[in-house]
Structure 1
């Protein structure tokens, strides 16, 4: 699977991973987007930003619904790790809603470890409640990986 930097990310996928237009608008201009394609259509992408000294974060990662559970997200995360490492970052972070059990499991399988919780993150920063797996997402679970 080839993953390339893109200046034209899929807005639909960005909003699939992050329902807040304001949030996406905030980081899309500060980050670098990488995508994988199938017949000219973006089927998976992620956005990487430099957050603090020696630290990068995957702030958005999404795979088209019809292409999920095919290893695309795993490949995108491996690419993000390699890209961050080659850029000299020492820490790679990622966050997701507390109800995103599948996402948390994926990130942990890829080597990320839980490092904290931003309590009431979604209630404080999103205009409407977000529901996943039948539950309201309130907290952001933070995970990180040390890059060596």
Structure 2
């Protein structure tokens, strides 16, 4: 759970999707250093609902490897679209997902205000809106 909380500060929100998800783990030297949690959202569509890499393993390409593994996993299961969302204040993630081949598809205004009890701040910015990304898996 501590690793999942790096990407989503609400244990309550994590518990809502965990029981219906597939969790891919990255293991190094018998330690889980990264996770990617996927759920089927619609026919032929999977969403990455949580992706996190331990701080000591960040900046080493592990997040990209998790995205590549999630992409391969979704393809082998017959999915044609992979989606991921992040907050408007998640500056690094906004660039990261685009570098991994995702395109912005929409903005859910007020999502984090409506769905999280406590305000979230990153990079000196309040996280208010959910930014949606997707890529085709054909």
Same-fold status (TM-score > 0.5):
yes
Deviation of 1:23 after TM superposition, in Å, equals: 0.8
Count of residues in correspondence between the two structures:
138
Structure 2 residues without counterparts, runs of 5 or longer = none
Structure 1 runs, 4 residues or longer, greater than 3 Å off = none
Aligned to 2:13: 23
- SS of match in other structure, 2:63: helix
Alignment map for 1:22-101 (pairs within 5 Å): 22-101=12-91
Is there any run of 5+ residues in structure 1 with no aligned partner, and where?
Answer: 1-10
Q: Give TM-score scaled by structure 1 length.
A: 0.91
Match of 1:107 in 2: 97
Please report the RMSD computed on the Cα atoms of aligned residues, expressed in angstroms.
Answer: 0.6
The CA distance in 2 between the partners of 1:88 and 1:104, in whole Å, is 27
Aligned-partner Cα distance in 1 for 2:110–2:3: 24
Please state how far the C-alpha of 1:24 moved relative to its aligned partner.
0.2
* Offset at residue 40 of structure 1 (A): 1.4
Specify the SS of the correspondent of 2:75: helix
Q: What is the CA–CA distance in structure 1 between the aligned matches of 2:123 and 2:109, rounded to whole Å?
A: 19
